[in-house]
Amino acid sequence: MNKSQTALLIALAKKLEKRQSSKESAIKSLSSAGIVTKEGKMTKSFPNLERVLSIAE
**Radius of gyration over every alpha carbon of the chain, rounded to an integer in angstroms:** 11
Residue-wise pLDDT for 26-43, tens only, equals: 889 889 989 899 998 888
Residue 27 CA to residue 34 CA, distance in Å, equals: 10
14 pLDDT higher than 80:
yes
57 pLDDT higher than 70:
no
Residue 3 CA to residue 54 CA, distance in Å, equals: 21
Nearest alpha-carbon partner for 4 in 28, 25, 26, 33: 33
- Find out whether 3 and 43 touch, Cβ atoms under 8 Å: no
Residue 44 CA to residue 12 CA, distance in Å, equals: 19
55 pLDDT higher than 80:
no
